[in-house]
Structure formats: structure tokens, C-alpha cells
Copies of this chain bind each other. A is one copy, B any other.
């Protein structure tokens, strides 16, 4: 086949733009053949570009040469069409296409490139084999859903940048080839050719640099920054991901919250969603007690404590542990199980509890058990349970294992997990996880007052619950708790949560060198070790560091949730697999001998 050259030909319109207003106009369209239909002397080509599809008609009598070329054009061929827009005859309009009221009658057709038969058609909605999609990512990305996802991602990032810029934030780029940052995951390293045996680290976040920028007086910084973590890849992680990173001087927590609410509202608005700010706010303790988790999914009702309803006498009678709370919750619309379903459910859940010493009552047992029946009405009322909801009450059995006592919150967490498990199981029934296209789909929440330290029972030490630059509450410094009651110290740390997913995490930072040194010491880090790891930063703190704080949010995850996508790979153009492989370009791959020599490296595979 002889291909045509583009020459000086220019598009007049995009394929999705034509309307009856253009009736009679001469136009030039370029794009991909989405479909070809032959009707004797007439050939219809659906021509596709990013904006949509136009129907092109090739009439043998009117444009013989173009018609002949069209006969050879197959799916995914790249063509240019010169023609005239024509209103379709009455009855032949296609109301499902934005351009369905018109068609383009071709005068000339240029065949700009041919296409082999693709392994799957970009016209398909669902392609089962994700490996094939990733290998032929260029074809996969032609699909309408993917085109929309990346247009959305662009709009979201743009709205965020615009909002932050308008609010005095400067976007400042920080290095990618740098030194280990204290985020706790493994670093990716980059060997130096000039300095044998030395390595740069790819940043797990710009944390240190953004704090340095505050020390430098930039007042308000942001960056939409790539970050890198060499983790054992779990379900939906990527070795490189993008975060919206920001930091400000002289803030209170609320100052940070208002900024984040501002840019999220702006971002969601680009997708037609009007969020209501300020977002709900609760402390870590409240979140645990009401949802059993520090990232509550507020699309579902909270847990309800029935401790008061079950009197000590009743507990004794029921063999329920006195010291521990009795928790209950409902799963909306999941009531009305058949006997078999109910039996299966209960046996599953009990198996899950294992040695935990918990027991479970559901709606049915509540109503029918002689002991509980008198309580059923109270419980139902307290839970605001409807007739078609599933009610679950979890009771700690007498003699609950002693080990749980280390963590007074364990029962809340365990029941919270059950709540999520059942909510997922009955998602089809309650429908609360299904997007409706309104703000109701998106339940945002701030969780505050995280504990500063976590007790490690094994090593009998306190660990930082966050990175070691997080400031304790001013009150807990003033009161001396920082020095003598670590378990009571609250961090000025906060998370933003959307639909049970942690979108981002931030804190007011330590700006005083004496407090920072104390935190390092309290974490068991010697002064030398602290100096070795963060020496330059400890120095910087001594030269006039202002109070500052900030946050980082995962852009990929925000776009994923907003797009209603099921995986980060749907909103990252060239993602890696769970084994951290890029299937399209085939990376990673072996280095050449020369590269290894230049980098002073040898591969040693230990068994």
C-alpha cells in the first residue's frame, strides 16, 4: 500500500466537534478508523480522535478515488478526510453520538498510516487480561475510559495548582537524586559513577526539603511531586507515585485543613462535584470508638456501644466480659437473610474471630433469643435499624484472652474490621459504594490528635507513630507529658480520609531544635546517630526556624476515586505490575558490562 504524506494539510475541526451548525461547511478531519461499514457504492467510516467520533461517507459516484482508498482502510488506520458537513436525513440521526445529527461527505481521503490487527480493539469496554493491556498500553490508552481518566487527571492537577497558586503557594521543585528520607520504607538507590561506592536515594517524599524551604522563608510551598518507595508491593501500590505536597509557615492545623478543603473542592468541581466544606473532623480516639479504624468509611453508619444497655447482671448471665465494651452496628438493607445464608454468615464470621474471644448476635438471634428479645427493641432503636437492615452485636466472652489487654482499643478495631468486611460482602444490597455522580459519593473526614508514640510490647520501647518531625501538642510539651508520660502525648498529626481510604497525612512540625533533639532521644536515637542521619537538618533548625506544618495527599488515589476506577493502574499512564515491572518497555532489565564497570558495581546473587 502507498501511504500519503500529510504535507501542509491542517485539521479544521476535531472529530467530536461537528454539529448541525457546521452543515454545508468544508472541513478537514484526521483520526483513526474506529469502524468501517460497506454498503455497495457507499462506505461509512467512523473517524475517531480524543474528542469523539464523526461519521464519514465515501460515495463511489461522487469521489471514486477516495472511495477506493477507503476500501483498503481497516480498523485503527490513520486517515485524513477532506469533505463537506451534511445534515443527516430525518430518521438517520444517531442520538447516542454528539455528532449524530451530521455526517461528513468525503471528497478526498489520505491514508496516513496503516495498522496491523490489534490484539484487542480500543472500542472494547472491558479487556479481561490486564497483562495484555499493559504490554500494549498504547492501544489500551486509546480506549474511551482511559482517555477520560487522563483528561480528568489533567483537570484535577490543574485545578489544584491553580487554587494553591492563587493562595500564595509557590511550586518549588526539589531534587530526585538525594539522600535517604525518614519515611520508613526502603529507598531506591542510584549509584554514582563519579563517586565509587556512593549512592543517591530517590525521595520517598520531599519532606526534608519542604521543611528546609520553610526555614528559607518561602512561606507557602507546594509541589505535585513524584515519590518513590521500594516496598513489597501490596494489592494497589506503585513503586513511584505522585503526591500533592505542601507546607506553610506559622499555621494552625485548621489553616492546613482549610487549604486542603479549598483545593479538593476546586478539583472535584472540575468533575462536576460540589463538595461541602469544612469537612467533618474527629479525633483519633473518636474514630476508633465509633468506627474501629483511623480511616472511617462514613458512607456506612457508625458502630454503637451497647455497654449501658447490657447491665452487669445481664452480662454475667450471658457470660460477657465485664471490663470490655459491647459493640453493635447495622449493615443497611442486608437483613432478611434466608436461614442458610444466615448460618453460613455466622459460621464465617466466627471462624474469622478465631481465638479472639468474641461472639456475635445478628438480627435474627436478637429477636428470637429469650435473653435478648426484651432488649431487641432498645437496640434496634439505638441503632436506628430498619426492618430490612442487618443488625450485628458483638460481645466479648468471659475469659477473653489476656493478650488483648495491651491494646485497650482492640475490640473496637476488631468489630470495625467486621463492619467493613460485611459492608463489602453486602455492597450489592446496600449500594452505598456505588457512585451516583453527586457529592454524596464522597465522604471526607479529618482525623486529628493521633497518639505521638506507639508502645512496642516486644521491644518494650516507644516508637514514633509518625515521622520524627511531627510536633507534639503544645499543651503536652508545656505539661511535661512529653518527658514523663509518653503514652498520653498527642501529636499534632492529622489524616484526611475519603470513603475509608487515607488520602493524605500531615502534621505541624517541630521547629525547635531542643524539642527535635528530645524526640530523637526519646525514640532511642543517640545524638551521634541523629547527627549522622539528619545532621544538616538539626543544624538548619538552629538558624531561625519558624513554626511550620503541612500535608501530602496522594494524587493518584484522588483521581482513582473520583474516576470511579478500581485500581491506581487505571489513572497512571504507564504503571508497573505488582512485581514492579513495566511490561510495555520491559523494565527493569540487565545493565551492560560497560555500565556496571562505570558504576563500580558487580551483581552478587546470594541464595
Measured CB to CB, the residues of A under 8 A from B are 3, 5-8, 10-11, 14, 30-32, 48-51, 76-78, 80, 112-116, 118, 136-139, 141-142, 146-147, 150-151, 153-154, 157-158, 161-162, 165, 170-179, 186-202, 208-209, 212-213, 215-219, 226, 228, 230, 239-240, 242, 249-250, 252, 255, 474, 477-478, 511-512, 536, 540, 542-547, 572-574, 576, 579-582, 584-591, 595, 597-606
- Given A585-B536, A600-B604, A605-B197, check contact A175 B240 (CB 8 Å): yes
- Given A154-B172, A544-B113, A587-B201, check contact A189 B188 (CB 8 Å): no
Contacts of A574 in B (CB 8 A): 174-175, 178, 209, 212
- Given A76-B544, A250-B30, A250-B80, check contact A189 B113 (CB 8 Å): no
CB-CB nearest 8 A-B residue pairs: A115-B544, A141-B216, A76-B544, A198-B588, A197-B603, A179-B587, A179-B585, A192-B588
- Kindly report which residue of chain B lies nearest to residue A217, judged by CB atoms: B142
Taking a contact as CB atoms under 8 Å apart, the answer to whether A190 and B193 are in contact is no
Partner of A137, one of B198, B212, B250, B512: B212
- Given A193-B230, A547-B6, A582-B175, check contact A606 B597 (CB 8 Å): yes
CB distance from A206 to the nearest CB of B (A): 10
Contacts of A474 in B (CB 8 A): 5-7
Contacts of A602 in B (CB 8 A): 601-604
User: With the chains together, A150 CA to B202 CA distance in Å?
Assistant: 23
- Given A78-B544, A602-B602, check contact A200 B138 (CB 8 Å): no
Taking a contact as CB atoms under 8 Å apart, the answer to whether A116 and B542 are in contact is yes
Contacts of A157 in B (CB 8 A): 171
Taking a contact as CB atoms under 8 Å apart, the answer to whether A154 and B179 are in contact is no
Contacts of A511 in B (CB 8 A): 78, 112-113
CB distance from A541 to the nearest CB of B (A): 8
- Kindly report which residue of chain B lies nearest to residue A218, judged by CB atoms: B50
| 5 residue pairs A–B, Cβ–Cβ below 8 Å | A3-B512, A30-B249, A173-B572, A174-B573, A189-B595
Partner of A587, one of B151, B177, B213, B590: B177
Contacts of A219 in B (CB 8 A): 14, 49-51
Taking a contact as CB atoms under 8 Å apart, the answer to whether B584 and A536 are in contact is yes
User: With the chains together, A346 CA to B217 CA distance in Å?
Assistant: 51
Contacts of A177 in B (CB 8 A): 188, 202, 228, 239-240, 576, 582, 587-588
- Kindly report which residue of chain B lies nearest to residue A211, judged by CB atoms: B138
